């Protein structure tokens, strides 16, 4: 994807804004702005709708990456930002990176970031006939399709060979690689970003209290289950900080994208969110 990037594409930030909004317009500086949520490892965010069937055999496992994400959209421990309905197609073609500042009251944390395509409420999908099944129409209104995702374990901020505890309430800069994508957000759709701190059971639960290792051989049952911390997490939307990254403003997702000639007007619609950003 790096070598196949379209010549007309360019790295473009899309920013977290007030009211849980996303926009290509950099927000005004507000040093105290943040969104917050409380993460409880004892009540983790599931990675697919419950009840979660066994992986093998299981009908849901092969398709979980394209399942509707609305089943977690309104959980208080999932922060959600989205644009208004797009007025033109937006094509993402290349690397996608989430750059944000975050703090936690604990000493360890996971940051799960998801880029999502939200279909309009009147969306309908035409399913062609196959075998004995006739052609049919399926209501796709409001469907939330995950395009990219990744998990960042904060203990490895300084390297996988150097796990370190976080300092409670200290604001830290994160760059989460969401890999590459080649996707068109169509006119009338919305672009959404979600951030959370658990994604169970596909990602083991972080106790949010730093321990040298979650599991080690020959540990007792008590040691295998370290005490957990229920921690408030903050995503800072307008934080002035020195950074090795270009000063584009904290709290944004960047990608290479193509846009059709008509202007893409993006504004804020309300949703839950919590992550830090910079100006």
Q: Which domain holds residue 210?
A: 10-126+135-278
Establish if 67 belongs to a structural domain: yes
- What is the per-residue pLDDT for 219? 41
Strands 144-153 and 110-118: antiparallel
- What is the per-residue pLDDT for 135? 86
DSSP state at residue 33: -
- What is the per-residue pLDDT for 253? 57
66 CB burial (10 A radius; 0-12, 13-18, 19+): exposed
Establish if 3 belongs to a structural domain: no
Establish if 2 belongs to a structural domain: no
Say which residues have a Cβ less than 8 Å from residue 189's Cβ, sequence separation at least 6: 85, 86, 117, 118, 119, 120
Number of independent structural domains in the chain: 1
Overall average pLDDT of the 256-271 stretch? 30
Residue 11: band (very low, low, confident or very high) from pLDDT cuts 50, 70, 90: confident
Establish if 4 belongs to a structural domain: no
User: CA-to-CA distance for 249 and 277, rounded, in angstroms?
Assistant: 6
Overall average pLDDT of the 200-214 stretch? 88
- What is the per-residue pLDDT for 272? 28
Establish if 5 belongs to a structural domain: no
Which of 198, 191, 101, 86 lies closest to 148, judged by CA?
191
**Of 77-81, 195-199, 239-243, minimum mean pLDDT range:** 239-243
Checking if the pLDDT of 81 tops 70, the result is yes
**What percent of the chain stands above pLDDT 70?**
74
Establish if 208 belongs to a structural domain: yes
- What is the per-residue pLDDT for 266? 25
Overall average pLDDT of the 11-33 stretch? 86
Establish if 139 belongs to a structural domain: yes
Q: Give pTM, 2 decimals.
A: 0.79
């Amino acid at each position: 994807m790096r070598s196949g990037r379209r010549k007309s594409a360019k790295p473009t930030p899309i920013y977290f804004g007030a009211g849980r909004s996303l926009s290509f317009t950099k927000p005004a500086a507000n040093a105290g702005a943040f969104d917050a949520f409380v993460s409880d490892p004892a009540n983790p965010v599931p990675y697919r709708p419950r009840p979660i069937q066994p992986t093998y055999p299981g009908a849901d496992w092969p398709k979980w990456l394209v399942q509707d994400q609305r089943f977690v959209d309104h959980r208080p421990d999932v922060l959600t930002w989205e644009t208004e309905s797009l007025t033109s197609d937006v094509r993402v073609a290349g690397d996608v990176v989430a750059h944000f500042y975050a703090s936690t009251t604990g000493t360890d944390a996971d940051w799960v970031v998801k880029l999502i395509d939200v279909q309009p409420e009147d969306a309908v999908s035409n399913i062609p006939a196959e075998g004995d099944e006739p052609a049919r129409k399926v209501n796709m209104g409001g469907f939330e399709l995950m395009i990219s995702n990744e998990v960042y374990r904060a203990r490895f901020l300084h390297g996988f060979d150097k796990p370190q505890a976080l300092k409670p309430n200290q604001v830290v800069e994160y760059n989460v690689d969401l890999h590459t994508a080649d996707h068109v957000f169509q006119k009338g759709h919305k672009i959404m970003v979600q951030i959370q701190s658990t994604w169970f059971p596909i990602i083991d639960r972080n106790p949010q209290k730093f321990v040298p290792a979650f599991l080690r051989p020959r540990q007792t049952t008590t040691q295998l289950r370290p005490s957990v911390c229920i921690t408030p997490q903050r995503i800072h939307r307008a934080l002035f900080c020195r950074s090795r990254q270009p000063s584009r403003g904290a709290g944004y997702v960047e990608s290479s994208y193509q846009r059709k000639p008509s202007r893409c007007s993006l504004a804020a619609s309300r949703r839950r969110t919590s992550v830090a950003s910079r100006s």
